[in-house]
Copies of this chain bind each other. A is one copy, B any other.
């Protein structure tokens, strides 16, 4: 017997509203099984949701996410026709992510600098930076 979830259970797990989940479905990001009119989410839906939210945190738009998930699905579904294209998309995304890694490192460094200036000033309040 496989674990399934209602929409409210899922929304609780991921700390999003049910409205959001239904919206994602409207946008073609997930398509849970139905039992009558009720939505039933299985493990694969949960995994997909996890991917969606992760991509969102990284700033991808919902339609970008949908396209990418569809693409990966087709690739893992055996549609090797588009193999080369998928590889290109992957490399494109990889480039974006690596740019973000750099951005993060830069910002972390900036924050470190600001932090140090504050800490210094808190130790010796009189000191004015040259």
Q: Find out whether the CB atom of B107 lies under 8 angstroms from the CB atom of A75.
A: no
Q: Find out whether the CB atom of B118 lies under 8 angstroms from the CB atom of A108.
A: no
A43 within 8 A of B: no
How many copies of the polypeptide does the oligomer hold?
Answer: 2
- Bound-state Cα–Cα, A97 to B86, Å: 28
For the residues of A in contact with B, the DSSP-based class is helix
Task: Enumerate A73-130 residues with CB–CB distance to B below 8 Å.
Answer: 75-76, 78, 80, 83, 86-87, 90, 93-94, 97, 99-101, 103-104, 106-108, 110-111, 114-115, 117-119, 121-122, 125, 128
How many residues of chain A are within 8 Å of chain B by beta carbon?
A: 37
Q: List 11 A-B contacts (CB under 8 A).
A: A51-B110, A54-B107, A57-B103, A58-B100, A76-B114, A80-B118, A80-B125, A83-B118, A83-B121, A94-B108, A97-B104
